[in-house]
């Protein structure tokens, strides 16, 4: 809602407050002011000019040389507007003028002719093009002929004004009107507001004699009021009306349409004007649409209606979609002489559904959807009739044609002062509460320790005791509510052990250089079990959105691969993604999908390896294996981690391993099979998936800290020749089993399968560390322990030392 402070001053005295101060007070009372907009935008030296003479530029067909009286002198200005003409009153920016955006106007020469200033369009005065009247959208704006030459054009145009942009929540529909905002400001400042006076002379002719009305659906339309105005003269609205509409974000059209929009903004009650003669039947019938019935609306779109849409008809065909938009077949135009003003109350749910069905929201529908004030329906029609009589020379027929079955009673809310103070945690006296209710213009009675409050119909958000508490608090001042500590038992918050460990997993993966992804839980039936660590009967949706989103997934890998393909197709040279989320394996005893949380990752392209001075190198199996080892170490599970070569559908048979925790399989890591890579247009790509629920449920031994050793360790490196099929992990287990208590660490540091090796053999190199925390080891002790290791390797692993 855009609120002109000049317009607002017609209804309420703001005590000389600066717009920014007023905006701050409104915000503190509960309605946020999103912006304070100075409509003058710092512009200066812009005056009204009179075009005394206008002729074509001798050197340019699209330019005109104008002699313009600017009040103090006659000056020559070159203008390129197509609608410039002799005798016009125009907006002139004189040399030295500053326009919006800091643009400075200087004397210039255009094709050899002197130009002393600029004749302006409204757009050049920072008025949005969509708000400029269509007649002036492609040229300069022409002022009324009686405008004083030399006057301040910004003053004439009403631009010495400030607009407050209100960020309204859905419950504050009352503030979607100037009167509603005036009530709010009046309550804040403890000022009485001035209501518009409605006073006009009716003709002797009675409206009911020329217009018949029938409402067939009283539930959807319990109140309909029609006023008839004859002998109207369609033309431009006066400047003050156009400027108020533009300040409110509404484009001016003509005096009749502009009046209906003006009253909409003033009262918050949508109106519509029909051309009486184009109705043809002299009748209005409000009914449900017939299935498949069509109407062309004012935006020149043909719309097909459904049986639950409410329409306004002439008894034969629709002339408007009720509460949403009028029809082009009854639109007011230049030749209109008699109009019908419609003011009605339409059921919010009906308008909301119709607006949604047609994907059509208007200023009218946005208000009807939230419910308008029942007690302003007829008053708004009377206000419009008055203004049309004044501005379009119309004769208002006597009386109204109406159907009125609308409940206009006020909602009563009973609340005690103790209840209010208890909710606010403070002490506000009864006198202060009643003073606030009076400022809000709520009718009330204090009796028997209770407040019996009649909420005005304009405030349909007031329904329960807590609504009154909020009203008292915001007008009293949220800043006045004292700061207190909670009283009573406090339950400390915190993460469960599982949540804390899951956060460790996510943080580690991000720290390792992967980016978290969130993908769909739904996939196609064909992909549901792809790459799954374990399978179960799939769960299919009864009413899927599409075949691609019809089944609950049993692995995170397929969607991560989709994300990788998407990014690579957009020239990403490195994709490193991970996801922690649920897979769904069968059903629980209650018949619900059984969820297990997994963590998965996909790596493809270049990898930024900090251990190589930030060098980017191609991702391989050992990069992802290292990330897994780092994760297990972070969780304190590295001693229980092992890998075992495996065959998994969709993964490379020689570069895939099962991930084991204490000899139990909980995941898989490997390269995507070349055929799968080709199918997805991916280069060498590696994936992994872990059952995080099993990972984090593993029971850890208590963490024991040991002092930093004071005695040196001794290292021995060995290179073993073994059969190519022998796993390095198996050899490591043999070493650890034979090394005894002096062996502290074993690490693989080399694998060789090249020249000088017998067919079917390979060389695996290990580094062994021996240490005693209590003393310095002797060579004899190390040799003895090391000899046991070598003997065990020879006997149990069929391994020989490489010469």
Task: Supply the Cα-derived Rg of the chain in whole angstroms.
Answer: 41
In which residue are the tokens 């007829």 written? 378
> What values do phi and psi take at 270, rounded to 5?
-65, 140
How far apart are alpha carbons 125 and 121 in whole angstroms? 7
> Do 346 and 370 form a contact (C-beta atoms < 8 A)?
no
β-bridge mates for residue 256, sequence order: none
Pairwise CA distance, residues 635 & 631, whole Å: 6
Q: Are 760 and 711 in contact (CB under 8 A)?
A: no
Closest CA to 5 of 231, 207, 244, 347: 244
In the DSSP assignment, the letter for residue 730 is H
Burial grade of 36 (CB within 10 A; 0-12, 13-18, 19 or more): middle
Contact 604, 682 (CB under 8 A): yes
Distance CA 713, CA 742 (A): 10
* DSSP letter, residue 639: G
Contacts 24+ apart (CB under 8 A), 793-800: 793/720, 793/731, 793/734, 793/735, 793/738, 796/734, 797/720, 797/722, 797/726, 797/730, 797/731, 797/734, 798/722, 798/723, 798/726, 799/720, 799/721, 799/722, 799/726, 799/731, 800/720, 800/721, 800/722
Residue ranges at the known binding site: 461, 467, 470-471
- The residue behind tokens 């079917």 is 760
User: What pairs with residue 303 in β-bridges?
Assistant: 295
Scanning the structure block, which residue is given the tokens 């251990």? 611
Which residues are documented as binding site for Mg(2+)? 461, 467, 470-471
Other C-beta atoms lying within 10 Å of the C-beta of residue 247: 24
- Spatial CB neighbours of 458, under 8 Å, sequence gap ≥ 6: 174, 180, 183, 268, 373, 375, 376
Q: Residues 213, 214, 216, CA angle at the centre, nearest 5°?
A: 160
* Class of residue 577 by CB neighbours under 10 A (exposed 0-12, middle 13-18, buried 19+): buried
Name residue, tokens 């002299």: 282
C-alpha to C-alpha distance for 173 and 459, rounded to whole angstroms: 8
- On the CB side of 110, how many CA atoms lie within 13 Å of its CA? 21
Residue of 446, 478, 451 lying closest to 465 (CA atoms): 451
Alpha carbons 168 and 655: distance in angstroms, whole number? 60
CB 164 within 8 A of CB 5: yes
Quote the CA–CA distance of 344 and 341 in Å, as a whole number.
Answer: 10
In eight-state DSSP terms, residue 504 is H
DSSP state of 360: -
Phi-psi region of 636 (alpha: psi -120 to 50; beta: other; left: phi over 0): left
Strand duo 574-587 + 515-516: pairing: parallel
Distance CA 333, CA 342 (A): 17
Our measurement of the distance from residue 526's CA atom to the centroid of its chain's CA atoms, rounded to an integer in Å, reads 35
Q: Taking a C-beta distance cutoff of 8 angstroms, is the pair 766, 747 a contact?
A: yes
Q: How far is CA 303 from the centre of its chain?
A: 28
């Amino acid at each position: 809602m855009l609120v002109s402070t000049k317009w607002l001053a017609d209804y309420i005295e703001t005590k000389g407050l600066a717009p920014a101060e007023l905006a701050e007070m409104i915000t503190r009372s509960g309605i946020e002011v999103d912006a304070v907009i100075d409509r003058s935008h710092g512009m200066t030296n812009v005056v009204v000019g009179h075009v005394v003479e206008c002729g074509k530029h001798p050197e340019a067909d699209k330019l005109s040389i104008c002699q313009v009286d600017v009040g103090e002198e006659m000056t020559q200005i070159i203008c390129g507007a197509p609608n410039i003409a002799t005798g016009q009153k125009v907006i002139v920016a004189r040399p030295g003028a500053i326009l919006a955006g800091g643009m400075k106007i200087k004397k210039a020469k255009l094709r050899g002719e002197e130009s002393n200033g600029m004749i302006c369009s409204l757009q050049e005065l920072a008025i949005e093009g969509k708000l400029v009247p269509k007649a002036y959208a492609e040229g300069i704006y022409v002022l009324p002929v009686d405008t004083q030459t030399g006057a301040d054009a910004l003053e004439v145009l009403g631009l010495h004004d400030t607009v407050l942009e209100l960020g309204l929540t859905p419950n504050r529909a009352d503030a979607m009107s100037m009167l509603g905002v005036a009530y709010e400001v009046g309550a804040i400042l403890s000022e009485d507001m001035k209501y518009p006076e409605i006073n006009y002379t009716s003709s002797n002719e009675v409206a009911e004699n020329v217009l018949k009305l029938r409402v067939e659906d009283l539930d959807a339309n319990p109140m309909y009021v029609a006023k008839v105005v004859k002998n109207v003269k369609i033309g431009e609205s006066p400047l003050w009306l156009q400027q108020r509409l533009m300040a409110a974000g509404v484009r001016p059209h003509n005096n009749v349409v502009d009046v209906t929009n003006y009253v909409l903004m003033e009262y918050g009650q949508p109106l519509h004007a029909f051309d009486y003669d184009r109705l043809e039947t002299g009748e209005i019938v409000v009914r449900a649409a017939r299935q498949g019935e069509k109407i062309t609306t004012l935006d020149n779109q043909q719309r097909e209606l459904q049986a639950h849409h409410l329409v306004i008809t002439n008894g034969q065909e629709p002339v408007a979609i009720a509460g949403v938009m009028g029809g082009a077949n009854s639109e007011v135009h230049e030749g209109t002489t008699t109009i019908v003003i419609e003011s009605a109350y339409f059921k919010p749910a009906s308008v909301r559904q119709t607006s949604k069905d047609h994907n059509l929201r208007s200023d009218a529908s946005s208000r009807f959807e939230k419910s308008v004030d029942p007690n302003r329906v007829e008053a708004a029609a009377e206000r419009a009739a008055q203004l049309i009589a004044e501005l379009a020379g119309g004769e208002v027929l006597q009386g109204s044609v109406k159907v009125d079955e609308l409940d206009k009673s006020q909602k009563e809310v009973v609340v005690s002062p103790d209840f209010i103070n208890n909710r606010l945690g403070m002490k506000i006296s009864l006198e202060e509460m009643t003073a606030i209710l009076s400022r809000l213009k709520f009718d009330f009675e204090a009796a028997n320790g209770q407040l019996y409050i009649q909420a005005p119909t304009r405030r349909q958000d007031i329904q329960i005791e807590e609504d009154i508490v909020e009203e008292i608090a915001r007008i009293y001042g949220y800043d006045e509510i004292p700061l207190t500590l909670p009283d009573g038992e406090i339950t400390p918050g915190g993460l469960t052990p599982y949540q804390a460990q899951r956060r460790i997993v996510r943080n580690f993966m991000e720290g390792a250089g992967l980016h978290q992804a969130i993908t769909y839980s739904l996939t196609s039936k064909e992909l549901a079990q792809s790459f799954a660590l374990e399978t179960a009967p799939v769960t299919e949706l009864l009413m899927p959105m599409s075949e691609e989103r019809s089944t609950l997934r049993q692995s995170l890998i397929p969607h991560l691969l989709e994300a990788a393909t998407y990014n690579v197709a957009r020239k990403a040279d490195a994709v490193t993604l991970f996801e922690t989320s649920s897979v769904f394996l069968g059903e629980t005893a209650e018949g619900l999908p059984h969820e297990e949380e997994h963590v998965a990752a996909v790596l493809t392209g270049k990898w930024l390896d900090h251990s190589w001075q930030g060098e980017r190198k191609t991702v391989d199996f050992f990069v992802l294996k290292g990330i897994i080892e780092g994760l297990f170490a972070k969780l304190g599970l590295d001693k229980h981690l092992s890998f075992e070569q495996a065959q998994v559908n969709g993964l490379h048979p020689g570069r895939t391993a099962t991930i084991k925790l204490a000899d139990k399989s909980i995941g898989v890591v490997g390269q995507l099979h070349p055929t799968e890579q080709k199918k997805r247009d991916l280069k060498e790509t590696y994936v992994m998936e872990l059952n995080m629920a099993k990972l984090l449920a593993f029971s850890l031994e208590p963490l024991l800290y040991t002092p930093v050793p004071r005695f040196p360790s001794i290292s021995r490196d060995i290179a073993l020749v073994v059969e190519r099929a022998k796993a390095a992990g198996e050899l490591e287990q043999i070493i650890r089993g034979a090394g005894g208590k002096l062996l502290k660490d074993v690490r693989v540091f080399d694998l060789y399968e090249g020249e000088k090796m017998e067919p079917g053999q390979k060389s695996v190199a290990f580094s062994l560390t021996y240490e005693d925390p209590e003393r310095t080891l002797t060579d004899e002790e190390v040799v003895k322990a090391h000899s046991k290791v070598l003997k065990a390797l020879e006997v149990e692993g069929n391994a020989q030392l490489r010469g």
